[in-house]
Amino acid sequence: MLAVSLRSLRFVPPAGVGFAMLLLCGAAAAQQAPAAAPAPAAAPAQPWQQGRSAAQEESTLHPFAPHMTGRPAQELPINTLRVPPGFKVEVWVDGVPEARSLALGDKGTVFVSNRNGKNVYAVVDRGGKREVKTILKGLDAPNGITFSKGTLYVAERGRITRYDGIEGQLDTPPAAKVVIDNLDPNRQPGHFWKFLALGPDGKLYFNVGAPGNIVMPNYMQASIMRVDPGKGVLETVALGVRNSVGFDWNPKTKELWFTNHGRDWLGDDAPNDTLNRVSKRVPNFGYPFCHQGDILDPEYGKNRSCAEFTPPVLKLGAHIAPLGMRFYTGKMFPAEYQNNIFIAMHGSWNRNTKQGYNVTRVTFDADGTPTMRPFLTGFLTDAKADPPMWGRPVDLLVLHDGSMLVSDDYNGIIYRVSYAK
């Protein structure tokens, strides 16, 4: 069997990530000074390792992988979660492996996506008992989902599809109809997964991430794009966005707000991840030249100025990894929560002392100055440990009753935060 494997392996051309890696390696190897001794070349950098200084090559900081088979809530310290007085947090459902983005059906079905996995799940409430159904399988990094008027839209790595009337036929889902295809023709490395949301203009908005930590994007990368689902024509919404995995529209102004991940390997405290606002046509938020509105990149920022780029609304903390964000417009939380922003902080890996791993609340004073404070905490157990946490918030969803769901991809659990006077 071994001999057979060897033979077959040799003749299978490397594809996907492997192929992209080969290209990256070539570039990395070409930049290296010839070694004096016939020592083998150093291992080429992964996208997440790219941009390290020589001193950082020995760093043991690394991203954390989710438990792909999920972990039962009963084995986890759920009772260590904290919310403000009057609020309650509980496990809404477990057994949703790698629960990522959340979307709400008209009839109350909660749709849940995967990033490393290939599934989309539906969670249905049957008299207080929640059932998890795998409704779509074999998709390609289907991180982005959104629901509108009976249709579930799914953003995979390279395409956006629609499933009409799916909520009425969860056991026999309709076939996918393609909204737009060929979004990732070269299978880019780095941030290839997509977030998806439907704007007040009826268009589907999604990110195209940067193809590495700190690299020059091509004309379509490091952007937020939109497509009219009826026409299939792409438009650029924002540029210089390294990777946004969460956005929502201000309920009053209808402006698009989004979270953005800053680059890695620039130190524990720089640059900040950010909260941003799109208030003009195709603003540029600076990547890869300028970070957080006021830090020039050591390499790409040479001979540039941050003045030409749009600064963020709020600096959220370095490496804190803001994912889902939503304006709260529900009717359950106290009045002062109306139109606040909640942000799910997936938590840092590229930092010696870890931070994040919570849901943060952003409020605005009379002149619009934002302030943030932790809202749901307790996932971070030891900021110096590896891993430092037992759970990781990903996306937020306000249910029809005004309570808020929080997905956790590390464990495959969804929590519910509610309020009672």
Partner 1 sequence: MGATHRARQAATVAAVLAAGLPMALACGSAVAADADAAREKAQLCAVCHGPEGNSTNPAVPSLAGQPAQFIATQLFQFREGNRKDPQMTPLAAGLSNADMNALAAYFSRQKPAAPARASDPAAVAAAQRLTEQYHCVQCHGAALAGQQHIPRLSGQQRDYLRAQLIGFKAGTRADMDGNMTSAAQALSEKDIELLADYLSGLDRP
ω before 38 within 30° of 0 (cis)?
no
The reply on whether position 25 binds partner 1 by CB under 8 A is: yes
- Extract long-range pairs of 17-20: CB within 8 Å, 24+ residues apart: 17/187, 17/189, 19/187, 20/186, 20/187, 20/188, 20/189
DSSP 3-state assignment of 393?
strand
8 Å CB contact between 139 and 154: yes
Token pair of 131 as six digits: 């059932």
The least CB distance from residue 303 to partner 1, in Å, is 32
The reply on whether position 77 binds partner 1 by CB under 8 A is: no
For the window 90-109, what string marks contact with partner 1 as x by the rule CB under 8 A? -----x-x------------
Residues 159-198 that bind partner 1 (CB under 8 A): 189
8 Å CB contact between 275 and 314: yes
The least CB distance from residue 199 to partner 1, in Å, is 32
- The residue among 351, 191, 342 whose CA lies nearest residue 271 is 351
**Residue 238 neighbours by CB under 8 Å, 6+ apart:** 223, 224, 256, 258, 276, 278, 282, 283, 284, 285
Size of the site for partner 1 (CB under 8 A): 53
Give whichever of 59 and 80 is closer to partner 1, judged by the CB atom: 59
Give whichever of 43 and 233 is closer to partner 1, judged by the CB atom: 43
The reply on whether position 140 binds partner 1 by CB under 8 A is: no
Give whichever of 57 and 106 is closer to partner 1, judged by the CB atom: 57
Q: CB under 8 A: which stretch of 22-30, 264-272, 281-289, 322-330 binds partner 1?
A: 22-30
CA geometry: angle 378, 383, 387, nearest 5 deg:
85
- Supply φ then ψ for residue 136, to 5 degrees: -130, 135
The reply on whether position 240 binds partner 1 by CB under 8 A is: no
Residue whose structure tokens are 């890696």: 21
For the window 363-402, what string marks contact with partner 1 as x by the rule CB under 8 A? -----------------------xx---------------
Cα 81 off chain centre by: 22
Q: CB under 8 A: which stretch of 70-78, 245-253, 254-262, 401-409 binds partner 1?
A: 70-78
Give whichever of 42 and 282 is closer to partner 1, judged by the CB atom: 42
Helices H, strands E: what count in the chain? 2, 26
Token pair of 243 as six digits: 């990777």
**Interface residue with partner 1, options 33, 34, 36, 39 (CB under 8 A):** 39
**Interface residue with partner 1, options 56, 84, 104, 118 (CB under 8 A):** 118
**Interface residue with partner 1, options 14, 86, 108, 165 (CB under 8 A):** 14
Q: Rule CB under 8 A: which residues touch partner 1?
A: 1-2, 5-6, 8-10, 12-19, 21-22, 24-25, 29, 39-47, 57-60, 62-65, 67-72, 75, 95, 97, 116-118, 189, 386-387, 412
